[in-house]
Amino acid sequence: MNVAAPSTLINRELSQLEFNQRVLAQARDPAVPLLERLRFLCISSSNLDEFFEIRVAGIKQMQESSPQSTSPDGLRPAQQLAAIHKRASRLVADQYDCLGSMLLPELAAAGVGLVPRGAWDEEVRSWLADFFEKEIEPVLSPLALDPARPFPRIQNKSLNFIVRLQGEDAFGREATLAIVQAPRSLPRVVPLPARAEGGQQFVLLSTIIEEFVPRLFEGMIIDECHQFRLTRNSDLFVDEEEADDLRRALEGELAHRRYGAAVRLETTTDCPAELVKILAKQFGIGAHDIYAVPSPVNLHRLSAIYDLAQRPDLKYPPFQPSLPRRLGDGPDVFAAIRQSDLLLHHPFQSFAPVVNFLRQAATDPKVLAIKQTLYRTGADSTIVDALVAAAQAGKDVTVVIELRARFDEEANIELSDRLQEAGAHVMYGVVGFKTHAKLALVARREQDGIRRYCHLGTGNYHSRTARAYTDYGLFTCAPDIGQDVHEVFLQLTSLTRKPRLNCLLQSPFDLHRAMLAKLEREAEHAAAGRPARVILKMNALVEPESIEMLYKVSQAGVQVDLIIRGVCALRPGVPGLSENIRVRSIVGRFLEHSRVFWFANDGEPEIFCSSADWMDRNFFRRVEIAFPIRRPKYKQNILRDLEAYLRDDTQAWELDQDGGYRRVAVSGAERRMAQSELMAAYTAGRPLEE
């Protein structure tokens, strides 16, 4: 079929910036607890960092290698970079306005103060001077700039200061400029001692260094001192066809990540143009790569206040995930799965059964083998603990670890060492394809033979993010799914042809084609007057051929509801093209992460959950899995969940055809919030057992 025309697509990069604007809106929302608002501000800042490190860096590389190439929406690299600078500048201005005009005053009023230099009294200054002398100065290495001492290498996203000074040092050398680098080992937020008036007060490391920087240059006159921060290209490149050892090649690249090509320079607004020009020239940065901001130059570091402030009243109230009744009857997870498939919806339902599934497998004498994919697991992973215990107990443990999980490469290399030392078989997936599928298989010898117990999920095997991300996970011992999962693992660990799967859909083979076919089927149902509807929930929608098919489905009269958390390149509501398509984004307490594909199918609904977004990389350059939901009760529950998101008029945003988002208007006196409704529903015991 034809790929969507450029004019019918929204630019991916600008859509990503719009998502960060929606995250920032949570920081401005007075209905959100105050420290949570600070956390949302920090998330928007961290997201923007990664956007420059990966997306902007990639466009810059494209501008150098192929300046006349165009994005799917028809923009050349230079046009994209100009548009990004304009939109990102507005986002950055909004971030600092939110901090300065809203969050800091409100936090101070609540007894959580960030104390600026101008507000230090003598007691605070004396304490900070002592702290600087004992805790900060010993690890600083101020570097004067002259012909014998060149400009130092600046690490990615590190805190630095450019200092203008006068005078001669002990050797009679004159200096006019120096650089002070703040090591990452230093805390960026320093709590002040408790005072009689109560409350908690904090000072930024950057402020302390600016105040006491003269102590680093005894005998010199300090004219000025300004913060700056450099963002570098952090995408790793490994030629997998040429690398004899993928792991060793990645280890070599990790050492260079801190010093990739410069893509963004942040300076404080009071930094003179002359000093900015010196920095820009040093890093090869152009005008569109410079962002002048109020202090501090790194908002993400303020997240430390969230952890340091002992104020549960300023955070979301604690939430206890529920357990399905079947799992509450006893510790035997295998017995519960044998009764029938079991679907969990995290974080509304606990992730503990997934951990217990593997822990029980590690100690059960009937378990012969465990196979699992790992993409992101986090430090001190209980999942990895269970796999190590299983290997040490003599089970045959095979783990497919994706070493190229962005920004988790080093952690994954370390956990692969731990698993190998325990005796597990560790594989690194397929050359040229990231393994993003979330699969676990336990082979257990039972009276009637070997039975395969499987877990398939939409999210990572990560206990911490399972408390903050919405995801589905399916337990099953259905023979057809078990055989499919077995075949996928054979493909990942051995040399086999493309397997014929019974019920799973797999990228890079048939997932894309199957989704297009199911969409076309809905159009055919609508044309014949049969019930037809599509609801798709995912993180991102950018693949042009899928978007073109969604336009076709809309033109056939099918109602299409898209719940897209982040990037969406489809233009909804365009007459004659997409008037039957509605796109909404939910941004709330939990990060919407589950991927669900629901098709009405003439009254016989078909539902797949998946690890895959509808992006080129997920369809064609990754190993992904979509798995069917077959129990009628679970089909009903997932549809109820989706409808809750479609009713939300509190945390929902709707996409306009021009690429902008507007907050959904309140529809009645009683506001609807999907995530709160789901917390209440699952706490009350839904889904009910059949």
For 39, list phi and psi in degrees, rounded to 5: -65, -40
What is 505-521 written as a DSSP string? Answer: EEETTTHHHHHHHHHHH
Is pLDDT at 492 greater than 50 in this prediction? yes
Residues 322-336 pLDDT 10s = 998 888 766 799 999
Sequence-distant (6+) residues with CB within 8 A of 669 are none
Please tell me the predicted confidence (pLDDT) of residue 482.
Answer: 97
- pLDDT for the residue numbered 241: 44
Residue 132 carries which DSSP code?
I
Start-end of CATH 3.30.870.10 domains in the chain = 325-503, 506-683
Least confident span in 80-94, 296-310, 373-387 = 373-387
- Among 431-435, 514-518, 662-666, top mean pLDDT goes to 514-518
The whole-number pLDDT of residue 242 equals 42
Query: Which residue intervals of 271-429 are DSSP H helices?
Result: 273-283, 303-308, 325-328, 333-339, 352-363, 382-392, 409-422
Q: Which of 414-418, 524-528, 530-534 has the lowest mean pLDDT?
A: 414-418
State the pLDDT confidence band at 378, using cuts at 50, 70 and 90. confident
Residues with Cβ < 8 Å from 58, sequence gap 6 or more?
A: 235
Alpha-carbon span 588 to 577, nearest angstrom? 31
Across 430-532, the runs of DSSP E, i.e. the strands, are 434-435, 438-446, 449-457, 469-476, 505-507
How far apart are alpha carbons 152 and 211 in whole angstroms? 22
Collapse the DSSP code of 469 into the 3-class scheme (helix H, G, I; strand E, B; otherwise coil) and give the result.
Answer: strand
Selecting among 300, 345, 436, 462, the annotated active-site residue is 436
> 221, exposed or middle or buried, with CB in 10 Å at 0-12, 13-18, 19+?
exposed
For residue range 334-369, list pLDDT tens digits in order. 999 999 999 999 999 999 999 999 999 999 999 999
Q: Is pLDDT above 60 for 79?
A: yes
CA 611 to chain centre: 14
Secondary element (H or E) of residue 40: helix 34-50
Q: Which range is least confidently modeled, 71-85, 138-152, 386-400, 596-610? A: 138-152
Give the pLDDT confidence score for residue 255 in this predicted structure. Answer: 55
CATH 3.30.830.10 fits 6-314, yes or no: no
Mean pLDDT of 256-268: 84
CATH number of 325-503: 3.30.870.10
Which has the closest alpha carbon to 202: 109, 314, 132, 108?
108
Give the pLDDT of residue 240.
46
Phi-psi region of 522 (alpha: psi -120 to 50; beta: other; left: phi over 0): alpha
**What local confidence, expressed as pLDDT, does residue 238 receive?**
47
Confidence of residue 239 (pLDDT cuts 50, 70, 90): very low
Average pLDDT of the chain is 90
pLDDT for the residue 154:
92
Domain with CATH 3.30.1840.10 in the chain: 6-314
Cα(180)–Cα(216) distance, integer angstroms: 9
Identify whether 462 is a catalytic site residue.
no
Q: What is the pLDDT of residues 441-483, one digit of tens each?
A: 999 999 999 999 999 999 999 999 999 999 999 999 999 999 9
Residue 222 to residue 211: CA distance in whole angstroms:
11
pLDDT of residue 432: 82
pTM across the whole model: 0.92
Domain over 506-683 is classified CATH 3.60.15.10: no
Residue whose tokens read 């003439």:
602
What pLDDT was estimated at residue 416?
Answer: 82
Matching residue, tokens 């017995």: 335
Residue 685 pLDDT greater than 90, yes or no: no
The pLDDT assigned to 236 comes to 56
- By three-state DSSP, how is residue 57 classified? helix
Least confident of 125-129, 188-192, 427-431, 573-577: 427-431
Q: What percent of the chain has pLDDT over 90?
A: 77
The residues pairing with 582 across neighbouring beta strands, listed in sequence order, are 561
Comparing 102-111, 421-430, 575-584, which segment has the lowest mean pLDDT?
421-430
Give the separation between CA 282 and CA 275, rounded to whole angstroms: 11
